[in-house]
Structure 1
Amino acid sequence: MSDTGAGDFEFERKFFVRELPAVVAADPSPALIVQAYLFAADGYAVRVRVQGAAPTEMGTAPGELATALGEDSIGTVTTKGPAVGGTRYEAEREIDALVASEIVRRAEHVVAKIRYSVWLGEDGWVVDRFLGGNAPLVLAEVERGGPVVDLEIPAFCATELSDDDRFRNEYLAYQPYAGWAEDYLREFDRRGPAFLDSLGQNQFDGNRPSDRR
């Protein structure tokens, strides 16, 4: 959820990344996020998340990951509505981290990822490297307190996914990326990169055509 005064809405754009960029991997303090989706249908979702500093050594099972976060982790519960044009209703509230961890450990539909943060130009970016059944997926997101317009898009963003529901975390919790990665990559190679042109003027970092959709 945005903490920049927009209330219970988030404004973000999301991008596919072929591999973890070096500028992001240099983040000295990445976070481990493990989140369970208790409900997800038609763009609506209820999520319980536990997150904290990524441990240097960790298992792969969601329960092990949630437990590995330790005492300094943060727990949240979030409700989400359907996304429209890069805007989505999202109400997030903090809950006891131990309770969140125990819910995640018992949940069936779970997403785990390492989150890296970096400041590029005028925006803060997060890049998520997914674990488990969603490996080796890497996604980049930028979020603002209002619509993300006139965005400078880093060269590591291969194509935009802001309107592609397959890459929402709740979809990945039920349909892990590993099961359809080859189909998506063939699709991407066939159609090429595409970026939204309805949110102002895109600016591109690096030599790349400003493909639209």
Structure 2
Amino acid sequence: MIEIERKFLVASEAFKKEAQKSTQIVQGFLNTDPIRTVRIRIKGNQGFITVKGIGNESGTSRFEWEKPISVNEAEQLLSLCEPGMIEKIRYEIQSGKHTIEVDEFFGQNKGLVLAEIELDNENESFLKPDWLGKEVTGDPKYYNAQLSKNPFHLW
């Protein structure tokens, strides 16, 4: 239940040519406290509830618990969320033995494109495609919970 993840800005749209899959995502937050963020998400035709804990010092590792729920349940819970829905398309790109997930944001965060890669340990190496830009792991302003409160278009 510990998620180890690194996050990067994306330097070009070249990732779209490499994507094997893309999925529309809408998500909101019942709680954006960094100690216990509670997210509701509809990803494609599936709903999810996720609880995330505070990250370690580097921001690379943190507790994550996620369970599937019905889309109907997710829609009802989204209506209870704090203001600031996140809308994005997630692209999945295979890079060696890893999958890089690239989120292209819309709505209040239009223009922001972030890539995430989950690792087995914090020091694990991985193939870095040319379109992978500056690392922003651990920078709270790039967390989705923060983007819901302080969207990209206000920066």
TM-score of the superposed pair, with normalisation by structure 1: 0.66
Q: How does 1:67-106 map to 2 (within 5 A)?
A: 73-84=45-56, 85=58, 86-105=60-79
1:133 is matched with 108
Q: Is 1:133–1:177's contact at 8 Å kept on the other side of the alignment?
A: yes
Query: Is 1:46 paired with 2:38?
Result: yes
Structure 1 stretches of 4+ moved >6 Å: none
2:99 is matched with 124
1:57 is matched with none
Matches of 1:148 and 1:79, distance apart in 2: 25
- The CA deviation at 1:20 is 2.4
Matches of 2:20 and 2:128, distance apart in 1: 23
Q: Is 1:80–1:89's contact at 8 Å kept on the other side of the alignment?
A: yes
Matches of 1:44 and 1:171, distance apart in 2: 13
Number of residue pairs matched by the alignment: 152
- The CA deviation at 1:171 is 0.3
Q: Which amino acid aligns with 1:126?
A: E
More helix by share: 1
Matches of 1:47 and 1:127, distance apart in 2: 19
Q: Is 2:54–2:63's contact at 8 Å kept on the other side of the alignment?
A: yes
- The CA deviation at 1:41 is 1.8
Q: Is 2:96–2:126's contact at 8 Å kept on the other side of the alignment?
A: no
Please say which structure displays the higher CA radius of gyration.
1
If asked which structure has higher relative contact order (CA below 8 Å, sep 6+), I would say 2
Unaligned runs of 5+ in 2: none
Q: Is 2:2–2:62's contact at 8 Å kept on the other side of the alignment?
A: yes
Matches of 2:20 and 2:76, distance apart in 1: 28
State the superposition RMSD in angstroms. 1.7
Matches of 2:123 and 2:29, distance apart in 1: 26
Q: Is 1:38–1:109's contact at 8 Å kept on the other side of the alignment?
A: no
Query: Is 1:114 paired with 2:89?
Result: yes
**Cα deviation digits, residues 32-59 of structure 1 (max 9, x gap):** 111111111234300011110xxxxxxx
Aligned with 2:135 (options 156, 160, 182)? 160
Q: Which amino acid aligns with 1:115?
A: R
TM-score of the superposed pair, with normalisation by structure 2: 0.89
Mark the CA change 1:42 to 1:106 in structure 2 (over 3 Å): closer, same or farther: closer
When structure 1 is superposed on structure 2, of 100-109 and 90-99 the one drifting more is: 100-109
Identity %: 30
- The CA deviation at 1:168 is 0.5
- The CA deviation at 1:123 is 1.6
